[in-house]
Amino acid sequence: MDLKKYGPWALVIGGSEGVGAAFARKLAAGGFKLVLMARKPAPLEELAAELRAGGAEVRVLSADLAKSNALEKVRAVTDDVEIGLLVYNAGANNTRGNFVELPAEVTDSVIAINVLGQAAFARHYGALMCERRRGGMILTGSLGGYLGSPTLAAYTGAKAFSRIFTEALWAECAAFNVDVLHLNIGFTATPAMARLGIDISVAEEPANVAQEGLDNIANGPIWIVSTKGNMERVRNLSVADDRAALVRAFAIPPRADMAKHQTLQKERAGGG
């Protein structure tokens, strides 16, 4: 990563564990100063201590992205520094169910984090980058954003927004020398997945995902993580004809079947 273009500070939203923590470690190793934001304070402080021990300057903030004041809270610890890189790595889904049966606060939270929050952070920090004529934003998404999936209506819809939103933002910011990338993530071995009881033994490592994002920030608007099977799935889900059959055939499987599903994807793609 070019510290002159994307530094000196990087803001990692959802930066306490998994892919977010991997981004933080790689950026710290590259000389970036860091602001890490996540909901749970304990993992944040643990990661910050690790990075500070390695010589990095780190600020942390615990806040809930589902709340309307999240950006205001983060600004309180970033307004006095120059954020040259925004990594918005938040939006995991922990509740499945039919949209009309789920409590409104559950689906509203998914939309607030993945749609309203992502847009608000991109607007604020993106405007500053465009004014300076340098910087970059990595907005993480999901293969789930290519297809509506039963019991995940709010999640898949929000991820679809993120992908299309980032494409437009990429085109707008290019004139200002600001890079924007939608990092499309597949099945990844994160603590959040493990807490849901999902077998992550065949999942992609977070460090690999983060590295691909950093390596390809200038190759937007979309980068699909190169896990075997990901590109084939995207191609399958992008077919315009007979979307009804597509939704029935390629819906995201139940959690208990995720590992088996990923193995089949890799085998079809020649990954063994």
Residues recognised as catalytic? 155
Name residue, tokens 């190169």: 226
Task: Tokens for 182, please give them.
Answer: 């939608």
Run of H or E including 96: none
- The closest of 75, 65, 80, 156 to 119, measured between CA atoms, is 65
The radius of gyration computed from the CA coordinates of the chain, to the nearest angstrom, equals 18
Distance CA 176, CA 139 (A): 18
Q: Apex CA 230: angle with CA 146 and CA 186, to 5°?
A: 75
Residues 6+ apart with CB under 8 A from 104: none
Run of H or E including 59: strand 58-62
Q: Is the CB of residue 224 less than 8 Å from the CB of residue 234?
A: yes
